[in-house]
């Protein structure tokens, strides 16, 4: 979506959130210069970001919410490289109004959650069109619960400090009662022989249950994960419908994954 300034609103919001996370505070005139749009456009954007609790409105600008400071460095928006942001945006574009979307933990799925939360097409006041996010990642749930246009469900369980993911029998009990239209699955590795993989056995079990509850499984990952292996299998390659990765992916790995019947989007 674009406006009279010719810049996409979702992209503007992403850039504004990056700037305020970096600086802590952002003024109208300062933001207008950075983004090369009018001050009136920035004021509307600031009001919208404040309404959705992405930031706090102040006289003449906005300040970052506490979430921006509390997250570990690997989960902050400012640490997300461009190729990962492209993957996240492409994954978010697959989400439709009214759908139930599952997300496991990881930096790419965190970026995808942020991207879908700023999509104008998903901002609605209608419960019928409201997107429901189901996650076992505490950091994603903490951020997304502040978005009033989204419904956020966080499964229970034991938390891992390394990934913020919840796992164990309580998580399994919740997942047993749920279903997803779409699962955005982050991985530590993906190969034709090994399928989707991660480094932690407990997480692999919960992620496998999420796969089993999903109508469509989309792996979202960056190129380096296609040329490595990890300890535990989440699911075989045949359980994956689509892979969204960046255009730096190894050509032979992509060819093999496509030959296995997976749709591959290079962004």
Q: What is the DSSP string of 33-67?
A: HHHTS-HHHHHHHHHHHHHTTSEEEETTEEEE-HH
Adjacent-strand bridge partners of 38: none
Q: For 225-247, what is the mean pLDDT?
A: 97
Whole-number mean pLDDT of the chain? 89
* Count of alpha carbons within 13 angstroms of residue 87, beta-carbon side: 30
State the pLDDT confidence band at 65, using cuts at 50, 70 and 90: low
Q: Residues with Cβ < 8 Å from 82, sequence gap 6 or more? A: none
Q: For 119-148, what is the mean pLDDT?
A: 87
Using the predicted structure, report yes or no on whether residue 7 has a pLDDT greater than 80.
no
Task: Give the C-alpha separation, 240 to 255, whole Å.
Answer: 15
Q: For 227-245, what is the mean pLDDT?
A: 97
End-to-end CA distance of the chain: 19
Using the predicted structure, report yes or no on whether residue 76 has a pLDDT greater than 90.
no
State the pLDDT confidence band at 177, using cuts at 50, 70 and 90: very high
State the pLDDT confidence band at 155, using cuts at 50, 70 and 90: very high
Q: Of 71, 74, 76, which is closest to residue 22 (Cα–Cα)?
A: 76
Using the predicted structure, report yes or no on whether residue 3 has a pLDDT greater than 70.
no
Containing 198, the helix (H) or strand (E) segment is strand 195-198
Using the predicted structure, report yes or no on whether residue 52 has a pLDDT greater than 80.
no
Containing 253, the helix (H) or strand (E) segment is helix 251-259
Adjacent-strand bridge partners of 153: 134
Q: Which domains does the chain have, with CATH numbers?
A: 9-70 (1.10.10.10), 73-266 (3.40.50.1360)
What is the predicted pLDDT for the residue at 198? 97
Q: For 175-200, what is the mean pLDDT?
A: 97
What is the predicted pLDDT for the residue at 77? 56
Q: Are strands 61-64 and 55-58 parallel, antiparallel or unpaired?
A: antiparallel
Using the predicted structure, report yes or no on whether residue 137 has a pLDDT greater than 50.
yes
- Summarize pLDDT for 179-188 with one digit per residue, the tens: 999 999 999 9
Looking at per-residue confidence, does 83 or 59 come out higher? 83
Task: Give the C-alpha separation, 135 to 102, whole Å.
Answer: 6
Q: For 90-98, what is the mean pLDDT?
A: 96
């Amino acid at each position: 979506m674009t406006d009279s300034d010719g810049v996409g609103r979702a992209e503007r919001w992403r850039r504004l959130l990056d700037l305020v996370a970096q600086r802590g505070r952002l003024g109208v005139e300062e933001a207008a210069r950075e983004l090369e749009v009018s001050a009136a456009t920035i004021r509307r954007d600031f009001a919208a970001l404040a309404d959705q609790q992405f930031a706090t409105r102040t006289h003449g600008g906005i300040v970052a919410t506490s979430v921006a400071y509390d997250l570990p460095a690997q989960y902050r928006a400012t640490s997300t490289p461009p190729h990962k942001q492209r993957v996240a945006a492409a994954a978010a574009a697959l989400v439709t109004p009214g759908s139930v979307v599952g997300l496991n933990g990881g930096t790419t799925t965190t970026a995808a959650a942020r991207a879908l939360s700023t999509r104008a097409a998903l901002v609605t006041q209608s419960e019928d069109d409201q997107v429901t996010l189901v996650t076992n990642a505490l950091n994603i749930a903490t951020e997304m619960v502040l978005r009033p246009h989204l419904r956020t469900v966080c499964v229970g369980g034991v938390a891992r400090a390394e990934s913020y993911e919840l796992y164990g029998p309580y998580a399994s009990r919740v997942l047993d009662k749920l279903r997803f239209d779409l699962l955005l699955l982050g991985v530590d590795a993906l190969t034709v022989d090994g399928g989707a993989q991660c480094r932690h056995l407990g997480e692999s079990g919960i992620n496998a249950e999420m796969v089993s509850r999903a109508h469509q499984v989309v792996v979202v990952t960056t190129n380096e994960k296609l040329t490595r292996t990890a300890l535990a299998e989440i699911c075989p390659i045949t359980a994956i419908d689509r892979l969204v990765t960046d255009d730096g992916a190894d050509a032979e790995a992509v060819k093999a994954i496509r030959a296995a019947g997976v749709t591959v989007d290079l962004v």
